[in-house]
Amino acid sequence: MSLGDNIKSARLKKGLTQEALAELISNKDMTFGNTAISNWEKGTSKPDADTIFLLCKALDVDANYLLGWKEIKAAVNLKDKLKKAMQENDFFDNDDLTEENFDKLMKFIEKNKEFIIDKKK
């Protein structure tokens, strides 16, 4: 799928209109309208790197997804390391750590990483 298709798919999955997404990614430095979102989704223009960051945050997806990169080596490597560390420390028996449960755990960690990794304390 193209960048535009992925933006549209993620937007619809979140239940957002183009206008609502434009409002979510707009800030004091950059403002967007539904025309910009429409153009990105149609492929007539593309967001810049800063805007892709804003889109990822608003749509709760990573840049790899938006850009359509199928192979995510860094994430897979991290996922494998975390899974191995959890098993080595008896967090789960091999049978208890299904791919579905592990994916749920990864999503939980991603959504709560600021709470889990508190750099101030």
Question: Which tens digits make up the pLDDT trace of 95-119?
Answer: 566 777 777 777 777 777 776 665 5
Q: Which CATH number fits domain 3-67: 3.30.1120.130, 2.40.50.100, 1.10.357.10, 1.10.260.40?
A: 1.10.260.40
48: left (phi > 0), else alpha (psi -120 to 50), else beta? Answer: beta
What integer pLDDT is reported at residue 103 of this predicted model? 75
**Residue-wise pLDDT tens digits, 8-36:** 999 999 999 999 999 999 999 899 999 99
What integer pLDDT is reported at residue 120 of this predicted model? 53
What integer pLDDT is reported at residue 110 of this predicted model? 75
Spatial distance between the Cα atoms of 117 and 17, rounded to a whole number of angstroms: 33
Please answer whether residues 22 and 77 qualify as being in contact, where contact means their C-beta atoms are separated by less than 8 angstroms: no
Instruction: Please report the sign of the dihedral spanned by the C-alpha atoms of residue 115, residue 50, residue 64, residue 4.
Output: positive
Spatial distance between the Cα atoms of 84 and 105, rounded to a whole number of angstroms: 14
Spatial distance between the Cα atoms of 66 and 59, rounded to a whole number of angstroms: 10
